[in-house]
Amino acid sequence: MASLTERNIVSGKREALADLISLVDAKDTPLTSMAPKAAKPGNTLFRWQVDSLPNAVVNTTGVVDGTDVNVASDPVNFVKDGATQYRYELSNHIQEFRKPIRVSPLTIDIAVVAGVRDELANNISKGMTMLKRDMEKTFGSYNLPKADNGSSQGYVSRGLDSWIRSVKTTGGSVGNDNYLDVPTAFLTPTTSVVGNATATVESSTASSTLTEVTVQDMLTSIYQQTGQFRSYDAIVGPVLKRGFTNLLYTNRSSGGAETQAQIRTINRDAADSSYISSVDIFEGDFGQIRLHPSLWLKNTYCGYVIPMELLEIRYGGSVAGIKELTDNGGGPARLINAIASLCVKNPLAFGKFDYAS
Amino acid sequence: MADDMFQSLADSIPSHLRNEVERELINGWRLNEVKATVKAKELASFGYRNAVNTIDGLGSLSARIPLDAYHYWGQRLGYECWDDKQFLNEYKRDNPEVAVSNYAKKTVVRGSVFTADGFIT
């Protein structure tokens, strides 16, 4: 029976442009391409819950047989127990991205450019790529959420770097993180963030300090939060990716009193390119980890360890599209726009290599 | 994947521009396909000449997938496909260039461990 149900409506689905945005320029924009796409945010400000449990304790007293529960003092409240709160709300703003394009009449009618059959189509294609790259750069940034003030400031979504912080910023280059801030209990643990950022100063740690121990400590910290062996995607800057490659293809001696410390036995030619743009898949004790190179992070040295199912990009479907603008003689114009926001479901399960050089 | 992609295009792009934008994207993917093949051969060559170590904690490098190929299958099947061991094994079987098999050998002589280069670790 050919019933017309929602899933049968293919044409005109609101997610159409979101799908296309995900497809375009995928290899260069891994964050926006791989993050699960979620339903549109319910409002310009949207919220979700994060929850936790109290620490487990060793029960040394047991339960005396035949005793009743003391209903006044025994029950535990897992939402807010006295001064301890277990459930919080996180929130973020949506952000609009725009890329208007226009092609002049002379470009369309007169100019003949090799390899380009239609300048308008070519520009739409490039406009979508640029829109995607803007989104990638913005979502990977240390942007703090901002509300529209009606004059100089539009809605801004909190970026990934700001979601994965162990210390709330109170000033400095990032600004004061006092609006829609992450509750202290759900800040990413210090042990999951490699770097020395403080509340007012960004990290200055060098990526050359990356060692196996650094990686182990971070993954152990993430495991302590999640208690699960799972797959992680690590989106890393090219220099950090090269740091991993160096760990792979060289050995360092532990260095004793009778030996030179940090002897490197290099089993490849020094002239070889040590950076190859590929997704490197590791199989280890903590599950699978995939390293993705990205050029759109806050710098080329940093990296983020992401359990991808805890990340979402929420698209405002009803206003995403390619709109035809009026042509008043200057040539046909189009507006490519998308409204989206980054949702980090729980910052505790993430990790960050906060390198600055 | 192509059907989904064109449907998205049909929904999003003014009708008189669809063919041109489709052509742009198709050519792009074909180009990427060729580039991915070249990249896979480079990776195979690099892997043949260089032995790879295990990073304690992170694990063993099991495959190096060209970016185009990774995202092609991610977009087509969903990125969860790369979590699937069977898919990954079949992918490595069908594209042996991307599989990493040249691991650094260690030799133990009376309790001392030597690397492939002859150095004591």
Chain A neighbors of B56, CB-CB under 8 A: 212, 216
Closest residue by Cα to residue A355 from A230, A197, A204, A165: A204
- What confidence score (pLDDT) does residue A139 get? 94
Mutate to test the interface with B, among A246, A277, A279, A335 (most CBs of B within 10 A): A279
- What confidence score (pLDDT) does residue A11 get? 38
Identify the bridge partners of residue A88 per DSSP, sorted by sequence position.
A50
**In chain A, beta strands by DSSP E:** 37-38, 45-50, 80-81, 84-85, 88-93, 95-102, 170-171, 175-176, 193-194, 232-236, 250-252, 264-266, 278-284, 287-293, 303-306, 311-315, 321-325, 333-344, 351-353
Residue B3 vs residues A11, B8, B21, B22, B76: alpha-carbon distances, Å: 12, 9, 14, 11, 10
* pLDDT: which is higher, B105 or B111: B105
Q: What percent of chain B has pLDDT over 70?
A: 64
Q: Using a CB–CB cutoff of 8 Å, tell me whether A74 touches chain B.
A: no
* pLDDT: which is higher, A191 or B13: A191
Chain A neighbors of B12, CB-CB under 8 A: 16-17, 20, 321-322
Note down pLDDT in tens along chain A; length 357 residues: 333 333 333 333 444 555 666 666 777 888 988 888 877 777 888 888 888 877 788 989 898 999 998 888 888 777 777 778 888 889 999 999 998 989 888 877 766 666 666 788 888 888 888 888 999 999 999 999 999 988 899 999 999 999 999 999 998 888 888 899 899 889 999 999 998 888 888 889 998 888 888 888 888 888 888 887 788 999 999 888 888 887 777 655 555 554 444 444 445 544 444 456 788 888 877 778 899 999 899 999 999 999 998 999 988 764 457 888 898 888 888 888 888 899 999 999 999 999 998
Angle at B66 between CA A33 and CA A357, to 5 degrees: 75
Residue B111, CA atoms < 13 Å, CB-side half-sphere: 0
Q: Are A163 and A139 in contact (CB under 8 A)?
A: no
- What confidence score (pLDDT) does residue A141 get? 93
DSSP H or E segment with residue B62: strand B60-66
Q: Using a CB–CB cutoff of 8 Å, tell me whether A13 touches chain B.
A: yes
Q: Using a CB–CB cutoff of 8 Å, tell me whether A196 touches chain B.
A: no
- What confidence score (pLDDT) does residue A95 get? 92
Average confidence score pLDDT of chain B: 74
Model confidence over A51-102: pLDDT tens digits?
A: 887 778 898 989 899 999 888 888 877 777 777 888 888 999 999 999 898 9
- Model confidence at B24, pLDDT cuts 50, 70, 90, reads low
Amino acid symbol at A180: L
- What confidence score (pLDDT) does residue A81 get? 74
- What confidence score (pLDDT) does residue B25 get? 63
Residue B51 vs residues A256, B48, B89: alpha-carbon distances, Å: 25, 7, 21
Burial (Cβ within 10 Å: 0-12, 13-18, ≥19) of residue B87: middle
- What confidence score (pLDDT) does residue B22 get? 67
- What confidence score (pLDDT) does residue A12 get? 38
- Report the phi/psi class of residue B59: left, alpha or beta, with left for phi > 0 and alpha for psi in -120 to 50: left
Å from A350 to nearest chain B CA? 15
- What confidence score (pLDDT) does residue A213 get? 84
Amino acid symbol at A283: E
Which residue from A118, A216, A248 is facing B20, i.e. has the nearest CB?
Answer: A118
Q: Using a CB–CB cutoff of 8 Å, tell me whether A289 touches chain B.
A: yes
Chain B neighbors of A19, CB-CB under 8 A: 4-5, 8
Contacts (Cβ under 8 Å, ≥6 apart) of A80: A86, A87
- DSSP character for A24? T
- What confidence score (pLDDT) does residue A155 get? 93
B2 → chain A, closest CA residue? A23
- What confidence score (pLDDT) does residue A140 get? 93
CA dist., res. A125 & res. B25, Å (int): 8
Mutate to test the interface with A, among B1, B6, B8, B43 (most CBs of A within 10 A): B8
3-state secondary structure of A48: strand
